Structure 1
Amino acid sequence: MGNASSERSGEKAQRRENRGAKDVGRPKLLMDNVEDGDIFHGDDAKEFLAWQKDVASDSRFPIPEEHPTVFRWSGPAKDVCISGSFNNWASKIPLSKSHKNFVAILNLPEGQHQYKFFVDGQWTLDPAQPVVTSKSGVVNNVIQVCKTDFEVFDALKTDSEKCSDLSDVSGSPPGSYQQEAYSKNEERLLTPPILPPHLLQVLLNKDTGISCDPTLLPEPNHVMLNHLYALSIKDGVMVLSATHRYKKKYVTTVLYKPV
């Protein structure tokens, strides 16, 4: 029993010595010093890079949704740029000339953004747009980008996507199709359609009574209005007539055309 205990003690001591040797050979990680170039070595560096990639793709850090925002300068100018809090005032974004004004469309996240125009070498405010005074006392134009302002565009985009998906589906019924024109020769031999009986009553063919004024025609039926009538040709003259109603009066126009 005594020999067995001494052997166990010797094995534990040897393991402690081996562990100490490994700690001496491995460099210490100075986690508090970000300027240490030897923080990660070998497998530790790979693990750190993988961790960075996971953080970048983590859904807890979502990328803010951007919306197209139009900036327009309508005053006289030769060259117009814009800068603002959306790019940390780091650069001047040129505006494109369009007819009588300058326009730029920038994708901005939701929220309030300050901006200013750089017109012909001078910083200028747009008097037609809202302004705000910064903490340092500088006056800038301000714009509020709201997601609700773009809901109609999102709806149109969704509708266009649905239409593009449905465009691949043919709306024609199943079956075979051909390019031959439909023809029915016997229809050409048919006589013209019969004239409706109520249109046979032509005012010019009616005789007026003795008690009536010969210059006046009898009151026409409502179905006879706004139709062009032609009498039989007599003595080389064709007579055309049309009757119209103006309020409570009926006016018949007669045209005599030599043939």
Structure 2
Amino acid sequence: EFLGQSPPTSPRASQSPLMFRPEMPVIPLQRPDDLSFPKPPWMQIRSDYEESRPEPCIPTMITWSYGGTDVALEGSWDDWKSRKPLQRSGKDFTVMMVLPSGVYRYRFVVDGHWRHSTDQPWEQDYSGNAYNILDLQEYVPEDVDSISGFEPPQSPESSYDNTQLSQDDFSKDPPMVPPHLNSTLLNAPSPQMEIPHPFSRPQHVVLNHLYMHRDRNRPSVVALGSTNRFLSKYVTVVLYKSIQR
């Protein structure tokens, strides 16, 4: 008896599909990077002090000694934006620059042509253009009085026996090699590991010398080595050569 009757309509289906509940506009959330908070007064004062504190500058004289009529200077201290003329002083051209500490690149403009000074440190870029290098470091005046407290105390006079030198002291031959030259890289034992241990900074007395080392187990091979310094880097070159004919 229920076959002839239609099913009851759903209350949800009787409503129009175009009827929506109105939404209130909401301000989107900001990301943490976009949020700005007011700084405390003490932080603001410190920031203003740091910005107003001048950076110490170092005066340096730059000289051009290779002739010319009109000589100017440009460099990386102002991103190559300006040219500063040099003043003639006899056969040279000079200019006084006052710059903060750092490493700068510069070049001369001599009669409209780019030039670099070969008696000053210089390098080339990937395009082959040559630039001079200016390395300015903060100058710290030497205060001898400030280090007097670190000097070791003098030894007492009672520690000296004042013995007279004998004839044997004058007959001894001097050593063939000074003792400090034995601590070279050629005489250092090689570490038994896959990753070699980094060497310590060599002494200044072993620089710019040529050393030869011959191993008793391999008398037919001789090693030649030399250590040189380039700015703050130390480069050691070792050449292994066979002496068999």
Per the normalisation by structure 1, the TM-score is 0.36
Highest Rg: 1 or 2?
1
Per the normalisation by structure 2, the TM-score is 0.38
In terms of fraction of residues, the more helix-rich structure is 1
